[in-house]
Amino acid sequence: MDANPHGREGRSATDPERIVSLAPSATETLRELGGLDRLVGATHHCETDAPAVGGWLNPDYDAVADRDPDLVLTADDLQADLAADLRERGHEVFHVAPSTLGEVVESFAELGAAVGLPKAGHDLAWRARSRLDRVRSLVADRDRPVVYCEEWSDPPMAAGNWVPEAVETAGGRYPFVSPGERSREVSRGRVETAGPDHVVLHVCGHGDRADPGAVAERGWDLPAVERGNVHVVDDSLLNQPSPRLVEGIETLAAELHPDAVSS
């Protein structure tokens, strides 16, 4: 992907000119690639002015077809069946389902190649790796606090996928889910036994509106609550496998090691 087959970062006759994105992560990555001018439809979960074509898990197939896309973007295992349905309907689909931090970063280059912007994709992935390496270097010699990241609160679910690596990169320890595994429900006893020094709330669909006081109201005996270390992070910064995840890791590092990392 280092070489641009077009000679320069321009469009060829085979590049998709009309793109529909059914995943907020794909929309954000396309934005960073400089390809939003090709976006002719997106879900109402995506931050764009493109015409809405339904929700993330329940798009309107007729509305997608009305946009006459050259390419439809989907993401995550939860959209795998949806991607298959779209292909059966005759649509060209680019689907990614990263489960680790490395796969998230590599997906930037893959998406760039899929939309005819290979150099932009390569460069975006390179910048992401550079930023993550910088965070790792800043926290390399620091003590690593235990961090509990909650993706859903009713019932409480410990975040999985790339979040364990995000915590490690940010200078913490995450004894709840292994890297690459799906998020899972977690018991009060499991969290209390781990004794997290920090709790991070990034509840799906809540943006940055989660209530940090709700953790104390549960009555859980956690060092993080005693020390006032319950943090609310916009869910897109940790739940979304897009360039926003890099910003989320930088934000998390600043919370865990404020004397080493400037927010």
Bigger pLDDT: 9 vs 144: 144
- Asked if 180 and 113 sit in the same domain, the reply is no
Percentage of residues in the chain with pLDDT exceeding 70?
Answer: 94
Positive or negative: CA dihedral 105, 109, 110, 114: positive
- Asked whether residue 54 carries a pLDDT value surpassing 80, the answer given is yes
What average pLDDT score do residues 43-58 get?
Answer: 95
- Asked if 36 and 60 sit in the same domain, the reply is yes
Euclidean distance between CA atoms 71 and 246, whole angstroms: 26
Supply the pLDDT for residue 9.
58
Supply the pLDDT for residue 242.
98
Report how many domains make up the chain: 2
- The distance of Cα 217 from the centroid of its chain, to the nearest Å, equals 29
- Asked if 105 and 164 sit in the same domain, the reply is no
- Asked whether residue 151 carries a pLDDT value surpassing 90, the answer given is yes
In sequence order, what are the residues at sequence separation of 6 or more whose Cβ sits closer than 8 angstroms to the Cβ of residue 129?
105
Domain boundary (133, 163, 183) is at 133
- Asked if 217 and 188 sit in the same domain, the reply is yes
Instruction: Let me know if residue 4 belongs to a domain.
Output: no
Bond prior to 212 in cis (omega within 30° of 0)? no
In sequence order, what are the residues at sequence separation of 6 or more whose Cβ sits closer than 8 angstroms to the Cβ of residue 174?
146, 147, 148, 149, 163, 164, 167, 168
- Asked if 30 and 89 sit in the same domain, the reply is yes
Supply the pLDDT for residue 176.
98
Euclidean distance between CA atoms 162 and 179, whole angstroms: 6
- Asked if 42 and 111 sit in the same domain, the reply is yes
Q: What band does 10 get if pLDDT is binned at 50, 70 and 90?
A: low
- Asked if 74 and 111 sit in the same domain, the reply is yes
> pLDDT tens-digit profile of 169-227?
999 999 999 999 999 999 999 999 999 999 999 999 898 999 999 999 999 999 999 99
Supply the pLDDT for residue 59.
96
- Asked if 216 and 151 sit in the same domain, the reply is yes
Task: Kindly report the CATH number assigned to the domain that includes residue 41.
Answer: 3.40.50.1980
Q: Decide the pairing of beta strands 184-185 and 156-158.
A: antiparallel
- Asked if 119 and 154 sit in the same domain, the reply is no
- Asked if 23 and 126 sit in the same domain, the reply is yes
- Asked if 166 and 102 sit in the same domain, the reply is no
> pLDDT tens-digit profile of 223-237?
999 999 999 999 999
Supply the pLDDT for residue 7.
36
**Number of Cβ atoms within 10 Å of the Cβ of 218:** 13
- The residues pairing with 146 across neighbouring beta strands, listed in sequence order, are 173
Instruction: Let me know if residue 87 belongs to a domain.
Output: yes
Structural domain span for residue 90: 19-133
What average pLDDT is seen over the chain? 94
Instruction: Let me know if residue 42 belongs to a domain.
Output: yes
Instruction: Let me know if residue 56 belongs to a domain.
Output: yes
- Asked if 179 and 102 sit in the same domain, the reply is no
Supply the pLDDT for residue 190.
97
Bigger pLDDT: 129 vs 260: 129
Instruction: Let me know if residue 6 belongs to a domain.
Output: no
- Asked whether residue 127 carries a pLDDT value surpassing 50, the answer given is yes
Euclidean distance between CA atoms 178 and 37, whole angstroms: 38
> pLDDT tens-digit profile of 55-110?
999 999 999 999 999 999 999 999 999 999 999 999 999 999 999 999 999 999 99
Domain boundary (67, 101, 133) is at 133
Euclidean distance between CA atoms 43 and 57, whole angstroms: 9
Supply the pLDDT for residue 120.
98
Supply the pLDDT for residue 115.
97
Structure tokens at 10: 């321009």
Q: What band does 136 get if pLDDT is binned at 50, 70 and 90?
A: very high
